[in-house]
Amino acid sequence: MWNISVIVTTHNRSGHLRKCVASLEAQTVRPHEVVVADDGSDPEHVRVIEQLIERSPLTIIHARQEHDGYRVAASRNNGVRHSTGDYLFFTDGDVVFFPDVLEGHVAVPGRRRWVTGHAVRLTLEETERVTEELIRSGRLQEAWPGLDDPRCAGLPRLAGRFRRRARRARRWPSERRLRRLELIGTQASVPRAAFERVNGFDESFRGWGDEDLDLGLRLQLAGLRACAVVDTCRALHQYHETLATTSQNGDYYNRPRWRRCRCKNGLCTRAR
């Protein structure tokens, strides 16, 4: 059985983080630890993290880096450096999970695979109805928009498309096909050994966008199989103002890789 380290990125959204941690406390498969990867939050938010460490039944570790713009790739790597589990689950502090999400990720067979899911975006009004009490009382289903909602109705179709693309990529592998299998950082998991093999997230990604897609591509170039639980592992993305609408790293991500899977500026700054 895997020892799961959950890496949660955060920056100054205390209410969101509290609800995220509450949903992790309710998981049917208990995480080995939760590492709060803090991108230089203000002292008020740091106090909230300290309260969570003191009060939560989970083992929570505060991994802080100084804030120097949007550096989520560096923050996630910093979280991994503070972790000890042999399986890594990545998410953001604005995501709330249904209780069987970690169970669904580790149930995917095989050790040479990464797993990605989805988070349904909520409106401000819907987010306000998702309270810690609702999560802890086991009533999170009340916040699910429902299969008649377009945000949820399309999930089986997205999962089916991902799996068809994965089959084609295994049969006729090419970088173009591998890029169509997207690892999404709001809900993604990978064995630690594979993450270390590709040197983690590429910290050359600064600003919003594509650092998670890049990790998924390099993991596939390293021989891992891409798997999706989009239709089975439910999560809610709490409302907040959008940082950006388009990637700031598109040119860097889209460069040819020529089968190279290990980044130079990653978990270990010196590549092999």
pLDDT per position as a tens digit, 168-224 = 999 999 999 999 999 999 999 999 999 999 999 999 999 888 999 999 999 999 999
- Rounded to whole angstroms, the Cα distance separating 78 from 74 reads 6
Pairing of strands 235-237, 95-97: antiparallel
Reading the block at residue 69, the tokens are: 């713009």
Q: Give DSSP secondary structure letters for 177-198.
A: HHHTS---TTSEEEEHHHHHHT
Number of alpha carbons in the 13 Å side-chain half-sphere of residue 143: 31
Asked whether 240 and 122 are in contact (CB, 8 A), the reply is no
| Mean per-residue pLDDT, 141-153 | 94
Question: For 11-109, where are the E strands, in sequence order?
Answer: 33-39, 60-65, 87-92, 95-97
- The predicted model scores a pTM of 0.95
pLDDT band at 271 (very low <50, low <70, confident <90, very high): very low
pLDDT band at 42 (very low <50, low <70, confident <90, very high): very high
Query: Considering Cα of 14, then 236, then 185, then 101, what sign does the dihedral take?
Result: positive
pLDDT per position as a tens digit, 55-80 = 999 999 999 999 888 899 999 999 99
Q: Does the structure show a pLDDT above 50 at 249?
A: yes
In this predicted structure, what is the pLDDT of residue 64? 95
Asked whether 227 and 114 are in contact (CB, 8 A), the reply is yes
173 phi/psi in degrees, rounded to 5: -65, 135
Domains and CATH numbers, the chain: 4-254 (3.90.550.10)
Computed over its alpha carbons, how large is the radius of gyration of the chain? Answer: 18
Reading the block at residue 56, the tokens are: 């939560």
Q: For residue 201, what are the contacts with CB-CB under 8 A and spacing of at least 6?
A: 73, 74, 76, 77, 211, 212, 214, 215, 263, 266, 267
pLDDT per position as a tens digit, 89-122 = 999 999 999 999 999 999 998 889 999 999 999 9
Cα–Cα distances in Å, from 78 out to 38, 74, 131, 132, 134? 9, 6, 29, 28, 32
| DSSP assigned state of 123 | P
- Rounded to whole angstroms, the Cα distance separating 208 from 196 reads 23
